Structure 1
Amino acid sequence: MVINDGVQLTITVMLFLLSYIFYRINVSFCCFFILLAVFTTRNTPVNLASMAIERYITICEPLRHAQICTVRRTYVVIGLIWFISVAPDITDLFVTLATESLAFFHQSVFCLRQNVFKDPVLAVKRQAFDIIYFSCVFLTLVFTYLRILFAARALSTETMSAQRARNTILLHGLQLAMCMLSYISPSVESVLHLIFPGRILEIRFANYIIVYMLPRFLSPVIYGIRDPKFRRYLKKRFWSSRPRVSQQEVAQ
């Protein structure tokens, strides 16, 4: 997921730079960048659901974890995640190829999804798939969290692994809630554009920071700073990089 979020941030930052520098780019290049950004954006919540299921198996089925979560099955799940993320949105390209003329792909446009994939049916289809995907992910997170919570309470004392798994799924839920802001961001953007006319670039930039960047900043926190070994190594590197003060300087 960290790699996926890195690709998503790289592509979206590149699109913002292109929009500020050139304003309009070729439709063919825009299609490529938009689709890659959409694939990696949709990938994030599906990744969250998959990792929540893995945490559920670790806590609730510890004896079967090694049998269920094998390396081969992990690769299969990763392939399935990408298929689920790509399949609904690649149809936008096929519909556009079938409905638009060849000259359209040689034009230059401001690189927004609605400027490239203009068919109204595609907008309805995207909303339907977004609701289905995020609903499934939300229910998966709620189910795994409750099962881990009940499994921890069944024990006389809550184990450290169960507590960490529960906290991780809570952070997944926060990350998913922030990702779901993308549902209302177009409407909010339109309202702000009416209130602040002539500030559309600033509004889009603020929307990008809040909706697309902040949720992905949680990944290093969840899988980096919360890890005891990594945190211990980070503290060691931080303190060793600070200039040492001699006893004579301390006395002075």
Structure 2
Amino acid sequence: MQNLTEFPANETSHNRLSVIIKVCVVIPFFCIFLCLIAVMLHIFASHRQFLDTTRYILFANMLINDTLHLLSSVLLFLFVMGRVKFALVYCVPLMFFSINTFKNTALILATMSLERYVAIFYPLQRPAAWRSDRIWIIILSLWLISCISTIIYYSVGRINPALNILSTPVLCISGLVNSSPIQALLRAAVNILFFAVVAVVILFTYVRILLETRKLRQDKVSVSKAMHTVLLHGFQLLLSMLSMLAFTNPITETLIVLHANWLPEDITFFNYFCFILIPRFLSPLIYGFRDQSLRACIGKTFLCCSNKVKPSVRGKLQDNLLAS
């Protein structure tokens, strides 16, 4: 997201060892995340019951969105760390994609909370839009809303007239595209509006489900699980809110700059790692491994992989014994 694209571009403070350490920290996290996502998407594709459930469809959409966001943000991270320069016409779409998927995460969290609300209060009379065969309409609407807001955000910006967007090589950072004060103000307003609406939705659904838990004398287990799920959505929303520089910079500057002599690029990397990478890394762990059905399928998948590996290893050992 924009956090990543604002790494300072000061060559005098550029430390080669620091860059190597940062890359060696980010890439393993990203690879582990891709492995987890690949396993879960394989489970969704190979088990029909998941594709027929609205909750799992929304969860799969969130996994795909987080994967696309991390892919774009890690690419931007590597370009900045490697001082790779290219034309602005290639930089803007990549930044647009990163910002768009970042905003879409908040919308998906709100939608998943509303799905739990609908499942609890309208179990037999679920609206048509929330059925598994119609949920794609809501998903496309979320992508459309985030795209329109990002297009408006970019349309009010002004690019430096000295830059040729087709040929001038530049370092892909946010300051080249959103340098105007009006655009910065619009970005802050849109971000606050997005997260305020999502926070109200999650708080509303959590309170309603909590009140419903006290009324029901039976099936309290399913209602309690839904309440905990909504609470986890709120926790992840808080992490997403902190990922915006408007929230993270004052915190990190107070806790780090006053107590340690950190460089600005190190503080920005700390924000990126803690508030962009880790929340996306926790998503499959929180929503995947806590679900009994998914957890059982994940266990079977890894068990099958281990059973496939063991015979091959055993065969190699037998060949070595025969050869000796």
Does the alignment reach a TM-score above 0.5?
yes
Contact kept? 1:168, 1:222, Cα under 8 Å: no
Paired residue secondary structure (2:179): coil
AA paired with 1:136?
V
Cα-to-partner distance string for 1:8-37 (whole Å, 9 max, x where unaligned): 000100111111123433222221111110
1:161 has 2:225 as partner? no
* 2:291 corresponds to: 227
* 1:134 corresponds to: 195
Paired residue secondary structure (1:65): coil
AA paired with 2:195?
F
* 2:161 corresponds to: 101
Cα distance in 2 for partners of 1:3, 1:235 equals 21
1:168 shift after superposition: 0.7
Q: Judging changes above 3 Å, is the alpha-carbon distance between structure 1 residues 231 and 73 closer, same or farther for their aligned structure 2 residues?
A: closer
TM-score by length of 2: 0.67
Q: Judging changes above 3 Å, is the alpha-carbon distance between structure 1 residues 123 and 10 closer, same or farther for their aligned structure 2 residues?
A: same
Q: Judging changes above 3 Å, is the alpha-carbon distance between structure 1 residues 68 and 12 closer, same or farther for their aligned structure 2 residues?
A: closer
* 1:77 corresponds to: 138
Contact kept? 2:65, 2:101, Cα under 8 Å: yes
Cα distance in 1 for partners of 2:272, 2:298 equals 30
Give % identity. Answer: 32
Cα distance in 1 for partners of 2:227, 2:106 equals 17
1:20 corresponds to which of 81, 93, 99: 81
Contact kept? 2:157, 2:183, Cα under 8 Å: no
Pairwise CA RMSD of aligned residues? 2.6
* 2:237 corresponds to: 176
1:239 shift after superposition: 5.7
Contact kept? 1:60, 1:147, Cα under 8 Å: no
1:52 corresponds to which of 85, 95, 113: 113
Gaps of 5+ in 1: 245-252
Paired residue secondary structure (2:124): helix
1:142 shift after superposition: 0.6
Cα-to-partner distance string for 1:49-84 (whole Å, 9 max, x where unaligned): 011111100001111126451245412211211122
1:116 shift after superposition: 2.0
Cα distance in 1 for partners of 2:119, 2:286 equals 17
Cα distance in 1 for partners of 2:252, 2:176 equals 16
Cα distance in 2 for partners of 1:89, 1:18 equals 22
* 1:86 corresponds to: 147
Instruction: Flag the structure with higher helix content.
Output: 1
Paired residue secondary structure (2:298): helix
Bigger shift: residues 226-235 or 37-46 = 226-235
1:212 has 2:272 as partner? no
Bigger shift: residues 208-217 or 231-240 = 231-240
Bigger shift: residues 119-128 or 77-86 = 77-86
Paired residue total: 242
Alignment of 1:38-49 (within 5 A): 38-49=99-110
AA paired with 1:203?
I
1:190 shift after superposition: 6.6
Gaps of 5+ in 2: 1-61, 312-324
AA paired with 2:248?
S
Cα distance in 2 for partners of 1:113, 1:168 equals 35
Bigger shift: residues 126-135 or 186-195 = 186-195
2:248 corresponds to which of 181, 185, 188: 185
1:207 shift after superposition: 1.4
Paired residue secondary structure (1:62): coil
